[in-house]
Structure formats: structure tokens, C-alpha cells
Chains A and B, each alone.
Chain A
Amino acid sequence: MSMLAARVSDQHRSQDSQPLPRRAIPAGQSGLPRLLPPTAQLAAADPRRSLDFAAHLVRHGLPRFRGAALIEQAGAAGLTGRGGAAFPVATKLAAVNGAGRPAIVVGNAAEGEPASSKDAALLWFSPHLVLDGLQAAAEAVGARTAYLCLHAARRQSGPDLATHIRIALANRSAAGTDRASVELVEAPPRFLAGEESALVAIINGGAARPRDKTRRVSERGVEGRPTLVQNVETLANLALIARHGAAWFRSVGTADEPGSMLCTVRDPDGRVRIVETALGTPLHRLVWLGDDVQALLVGGYHGGWLAVGAAGQLSLSNADLRPAGAMIGAGVLVALPAAYCGLAETARIARSLALESAGQCGPCFNGLPAIAAALAAVAEPRPADHELANLGRWAGLVAGRGACHHPDGTVRFVASALSVFAGEIGEHSRGRCTAVRSDQFLPLHAAALSESDWR
């Protein structure tokens, strides 16, 4: 396994204490990394080296499978979407291809999940692999136009990812291999902006809100045309399957969940690492789960908390995580130090998720604020008795009732906190809290204040 201390800006690092010493990095996994440059090269850590298209072709070679053959290989490889939903890629490719009209392909790096930065890391270190995948997908579904959606806020800090990708595109156009035109689009830093119908809405010139699922994006998306939306990590995997085929892809991972996964790991000292690991890797090999860690958040803010003891027994696969109330999602792993109150942290995130509601569906924009307020009361000492009962009932009233999965994911996240931090709930009811720190550990975007924040 390769543990890469990628150059990811981490503005949310805890600041009022000494950082804990770095933990030992486990031994490497054979055949990895696939998507990121080799660990040794990354030590130099200059993302500009990734822009060289000729060097990229020397490392990865030329694609062997194209069009229908590629769809077949993706199906045999068992490649699933890496944006969070883990939907089979071949099914999506075949649906868009089967629509029988000129299609559009969208590469999704909107990365609305505040705790994730693996898409940005992938684009910094392997832009050509993502762009290869975008071209391969466009060819497979018969698209002449492609979009690449970036997270707009990343432009603020340090060098500009959009400029980086533009240089990569310019280097490619000199080689003349690409058939589909690629346009860059910036998605606002909203939690839901990466949802595929929200992304389509942005490209169509609207606000970043999901739409209802009466019309599938694969039938009617950008400009009303059949649209394929794939996470950039999925596209990079597709580019590698086009070169090496399904059997190679399956050489890492489990039989049901093959391949590798980019994870954004937040250590208890607040540092962020981007890790490329095989699916099925035990969680304790990915993130420190010692005594100073009280719980592990898996799958981000639509995922779930795991108690450290339980997490130590599980591996990075949905087969393991789903029964435990979590999911891989977009590969977010956060180790919450024991010094923080898990309830207070969850309540703060739940409040932000309530404010990230698109304000379209009643159960979501009424229910999530009610849940967030009740959880905030539980996070305080001596909450009123009815708050916990309200939480349980309201969670049942909002799940499955939105145009998108925002209410469902938020309820999963809150419900997992109630069970994992049950001991802390008992302490709070007796007027105590075990936390020794009151600063904030989990990262968040700035809240939306007006309609313009959705555009």
C-alpha cells in the first residue's frame, strides 16, 4: 500500500496543541499505486511534472480497448463509480450509449464533501489519466463534447487547479490524440454540487441543485442530451482498464469489490493524507486506531461513525461497512481523537448539512433543521428528555423522501453518532462531557448565505 503525503492544503488542522507524532506507515501493496505516480516520484512532489503528456504515455502506454470493447472490459472488471454511490460503470456507459442520440460526458471533480480532497489530488498528480478516461468514455458513448467540473473554492488557496488542467489540455492538443472537446466548469462549494443532476444543472447554467429523478440524466442531461456523469477517479480507472483490461484491474481488491480506491485520510493529529489502497484492506492498516482515537468516520458526512473496536475488525469494502451502518462513499476516513466530543462534532456537521439542503423538498428543508437542533440540544449537558425521542422519530420521517439522497445520508450520519456515542449521551444526561477540547476537528465549507452561493 502506498501512503502518500500528497500536497493537499489542510486549513482545518487543529492549531492550539502540539501535533501528535506521525505514525508508522504500513508496508506497500503490490501493483499500487495505479492512479497516482509512484511513491518515490511523489517525494519530489512537484505536480507540474504530471503535465508532461509524452512522459505520461511512456509510463502508461496506449489504450487497447475502445468503444464497445471498453464497455465490455469495464463490465468484466466490475468497475464501480468512485464518487460515492458505487454504481456499476458499464451499466451507465451502456445506458448512455443505448440512448441512440449524441451524448455528453461529464467528469466530476466537484468534490462537495468537505472532508474529501482525493479528486483534487488526482487531478494535480495524474491529470492525463483523468483526461484519457474522459476521452475513452466519450468515445464509448459517442460523445463529441465533454465537461470537467472542478471545485470552485480550491482556486482560492495556492496554485490554480483549473490552470493546471488547462496546461494539460494544451499539451494534449499538441499531440492531437483527443477527439472530444473538453470544457472546464467550476462547481460552487456546496455539499450537493457533485450530485449528478446538480452538476448537469450547473452546466446548463442553473443553480447547483439536484433535480427529481423522473428524467434520468443518462436520458436527458446537459442540453437535454443523454449524459454520462462519472467521478474523475472512475475515469482514471477506465483509462487504465482501456490499457490493461479487466483481469489486470481485478488483480487487486476483493472479488465483489475489485480495484483500488483513493482515500482521504484525516489522522488524529489533524493531518490529511491521500492514500491509494486496494478495496478490502483492513481499516486498521489505513488509519491509526489507537487509544487516543475514539471513533472512525467512514464515507464522509453521508457515511457513518464506527466505534474504534468495531472499525478494527472491518475492511474497506461496502460488504463489511454497510451492515455496520457506514459505507465507503467517496473514501473519506476520519479518526476522531478522544479529546473531542463526538456528539458536539456531529451536531456541528448536522447543522451544516441542514443548511446545505437545497430548499426544494419539504421533508429535507424542514426535517434536517429540526434534527440538527435536537442533536445540538443532545450535545449540550443535561438535554431535555424528549430531544432524543424527537431525533428518532424525525429521522424516520425524512429518510427516502427527497429528490436526492441528502436526507437519507444525513440521517445515516446522525443515527450512527447516536449509537457510537451512546456512552457520551449518558454522560451528557448526567451533566458531564468527556471532551477536553472545544475547538473544531471536522472540516466544513462556509455556509450558503444567498442564492448566489448556489451558482
Chain B
Amino acid sequence: MTSSTALWYASRATGVVALVLLTVVVVLGIMVSRRGRLPGLPRFATTSLHRSMSLLAVAFIAIHVVTAIADPYVTIGIAAAVIPFASPYKPLWLGLGAISFDMIVALVATSLARARIGRRTWRAVHWLAYACWPVAVLHGIGSSTDLRTGWLLLLTICCCAVVLAAASWRIGTAIAAPGRALRPARALAAAELSSAELSSAELSTAGRQATDQRLTTAGAR
């Protein structure tokens, strides 16, 4: 194996691992944004897992980009790693890679500087994550034939399915959840209803137990 093929293998392998990691990061990010919980983990663990996995993904992407540029078999050029469509080799597909790389840099940089730039700016930039992942996947499918056949095709399909499922769950819960402005009014309507209509002893016991349950399990923000 020549050094060139080693670089080529390294680039492909880290690319595939980065795909899996980015998929996990996106799903965890959706969990965090909807205040979801992973089984057996406290809520803050989802957040720190999301953070650690994204830093790990960045490490793999860095190796992926460096090995791809260093591989003498094709000419990509250092500039093409960050400037979209500047590569002489497969300009469109590597351009998508450069775009997603730039977006990842923006996402990580704003997250690290979140305390300084403020939550609103950070949040606005973080919406890029939803654009970044599909662009990265397109880059993967387009620039190498690996993902189009065999078990890597299966992996790609799985990643897409998982992200699609998580995204539709996010949209669904966002629509179903009452806005903060309406939460107290909704709870009040329910409480007044159970107090007024459920006057028989066993029904009011059920209503009381339901409220007890809500209050004992509800965490402070």
C-alpha cells in the first residue's frame, strides 16, 4: 500500500465515520431542542453528549479534509477545502463538502463563543445545522461511489431515515406543544374543569392524583 492509497483510505473512512457522527449529533440536537430525554439519562446528559459528539465529529472531519487534500492522486488544493466549487476535481460535489465544512466551523465557533455572542445570535446560527447535514450527505453520495452500493448504501439510508424521523418528531411536537403563553391558561382550564365537573369522590381522587403526579415529576426549568 502506497502512502497515496493510505491517505485515500483514511479520507474515505473518516468521511463515513463523520457521516455517522453528524447523524448522531443532529438527532441529539433535536432531542436537546425539544427537551427530550434519552432512556436512563438525565436531561443535561443529552446536552453534553450532543456537545462531545459534535467535537468528535469535527476531529474526524478535520482528518477527512486534510487527508483528502494531502492525497497526491487528485488535485484539490487547500483553498478548495473552505471555498466552495474551487476544486478542479469534482467541483460540484467537493463544493458541497466545502459548504458543509464552513457551516460546521460556524456552528462550532458560535457554540464555543455562545456566552459572548448571546443566545439569540447563537440560536440563529444554529439553525444552519438543518441545512448542513443534508449538504454533507449529498457531498458524500456525490463525491464517492462508496455510499451508493453495498452495506454503506444501507448505512446511508439508515442515517437519512433516522434524521427524517427525528425531524418529523421535532416538527410534530413543536406544533402539538402549547406556546408558553398558553400553558398556564390550559392548565387552569383543566384544573377548573376537574374541580367543577368531577365532583364525585372517585373522579376527583383521579384528578387530584393526576395533579400530584404532574407536580412531583415536573422539573424546575
Q: Is A366 an interface residue (CB 8 A)?
A: yes
- In the assembled complex, the CB of B24 is this many whole angstroms from the nearest CB of chain A, namely 27
Interface residues of B (CB under 8 A from A): 115-116, 118, 120, 179-185, 187-188, 190-192, 194-196, 199, 204-205, 208, 211-212, 214-221
Given A204-B120, A360-B221, A376-B195, A369-B215 contact (CB < 8 Å): no
The residue in A357, A447, A453 that gathers the most chain B C-beta atoms within 10 A of its C-beta is: A357
Chain B residues contacting A206 (CB-CB under 8 Å) are 120
Residue on A with the closest CB to B118? Answer: A224
CA distance A354 to B183 in the complex (A): 10
> Interface residue count for A (Cβ, 8 Å)?
50
Q: Which of A360, A363, A373, A447 contacts B191 (CB 8 A)?
A: A373
Q: Is A372 an interface residue (CB 8 A)?
A: yes
Q: Of the 9-residue stretches A58-66, A230-238, A398-406, which lies at the interface with chain B?
A: A398-406
Q: Which of B188, B192, B211 contacts A394 (CB 8 A)?
A: B211
Given A205-B120, A370-B187, A451-B179, A362-B219 contact (CB < 8 Å): yes
Q: Of the 9-residue stretches A4-12, A272-280, A385-393, which lies at the interface with chain B?
A: A385-393
The 25 listed contacts between A and B (C-beta, < 8 Å) are A204-B120, A205-B120, A206-B120, A224-B115, A224-B118, A354-B184, A354-B188, A356-B184, A357-B184, A359-B183, A361-B221, A362-B214, A362-B218, A362-B219, A365-B184, A366-B214, A366-B215, A367-B215, A387-B195, A393-B212, A401-B220, A402-B221, A447-B185, A450-B179, A450-B181
CA distance A209 to B221 in the complex (A): 12
Given contacts A397-B212, A403-B221, A449-B181, 12 further A-B contacts (CB under 8 A): A359-B179, A361-B220, A362-B219, A366-B214, A366-B218, A369-B184, A374-B191, A377-B196, A386-B204, A398-B215, A450-B179, A453-B181
Docked-complex contact A365 and B195, CB < 8 angstroms = no
CA distance A404 to B172 in the complex (A): 30
- In the assembled complex, the CB of A23 is this many whole angstroms from the nearest CB of chain B, namely 38
Residue on A with the closest CB to B189? Answer: A369
A182-207 interface bits toward B, Cβ cutoff 8 Å, 1 = contact, 0 = none: 00000000000000000000001111
Q: Is A319 an interface residue (CB 8 A)?
A: no
Q: Which of B180, B183, B192, B221 contacts A212 (CB 8 A)?
A: B221
The 10 tightest CB contacts between A and B, nearest first, are A362-B218, A359-B180, A373-B191, A359-B183, A369-B188, A369-B187, A357-B184, A397-B215, A373-B195, A451-B181
A341-367 interface bits toward B, Cβ cutoff 8 Å, 1 = contact, 0 = none: 000000000010011111111111111
Q: Is A137 an interface residue (CB 8 A)?
A: no
CA distance A188 to B8 in the complex (A): 61
Residue on B with the closest CB to A402? Answer: B220
- In the assembled complex, the CB of A396 is this many whole angstroms from the nearest CB of chain B, namely 10
Docked-complex contact A360 and B180, CB < 8 angstroms = yes
Docked-complex contact A394 and B215, CB < 8 angstroms = yes
Chain B residues contacting A374 (CB-CB under 8 Å) are 191, 195
A431-455 interface bits toward B, Cβ cutoff 8 Å, 1 = contact, 0 = none: 0000000000000000111110110
Docked-complex contact B192 and A362, CB < 8 angstroms = no
The residue in A205, A206, A356, A366 that gathers the most chain B C-beta atoms within 10 A of its C-beta is: A366
Chain B residues contacting A397 (CB-CB under 8 Å) are 212, 215-216
